Structure 1
Amino acid sequence: MKKAIESKQAPAPIGPYSQAVLAGNTLYVSGQIAIDPETGELLTSNLEEETTRVMENLKAILTAVGMDFSHVVKCTIFLSNMQDFQRVNQVYGRYFEGLVPPARETVEVSCLPKNVNVEISCIAVKA
């Protein structure tokens, strides 16, 4: 059984997909970009601000099902430029301080939706 998850605290999908899908006790969160859910504005002028907005969007979706970053078991980070890795990693890492960090891969891609610099998805499990 699977259930679509929607949080008003995260941006609405910009295509035919769900913000996340809950299947049993596993949450599959779609890739998030730096859209401010309150204004609909895209935040890409500062990489740290952009990454923070992405992580806050993920957090909002996790919260919608009673989870948090401690439940995240896997993340995928997509970057438009691998030279941004350290700056993105620094912001990303703050959300997992004191936690068992999830498995992860980071890949550079030629283009991301709306020409953003970073997109992150995750998988979380609630025992």
Structure 2
Amino acid sequence: MSLSDEMRVSLRLPARILFQGPAARLSGSAAHGGFGILPNHVDFVTALVPSVLLVTQPGGAERIFGIDEGLLVKKGHDVDIAVRRGVEGGDLGTLHATVGKAFAEIEDEERAARAALSRLEADMVRRFTILRKASP
């Protein structure tokens, strides 16, 4: 592996890519504590916990993300991050409110989907019961 001043980071949600681009540094939190990754860091895999993920781009600009649990894989100069939920914030002060609002909306959608699935399951059980009674 050649030495590099940057790495390619992809932060993926189940339905879309939240961030994709170069980074000079990345820091986050795993189950056993905080970590930092530089471009020439050894290959690395870790489970992420709900926390703040900080991506420092080559020019020094920082991108701040509030993330839910997920997985980070660094291989070579590529860092792939997959999380269930995540949002980008402008700064740490506003990130808390942004995360709370976005995650609450997602939880409402998940609750509605679970209710619909429960209704479908109940209807299926009811139909099987009717079929069973109709058979000799």
Structures share fold, TM-score greater than 0.5: no
Greater relative contact order (Cα 8 A, min sep 6): structure 1 or 2?
Answer: 1
For the pair shown, the structure with the greater C-alpha radius of gyration is 2
Normalised TM-score (structure 1)? 0.26
Normalised TM-score (structure 2)? 0.25
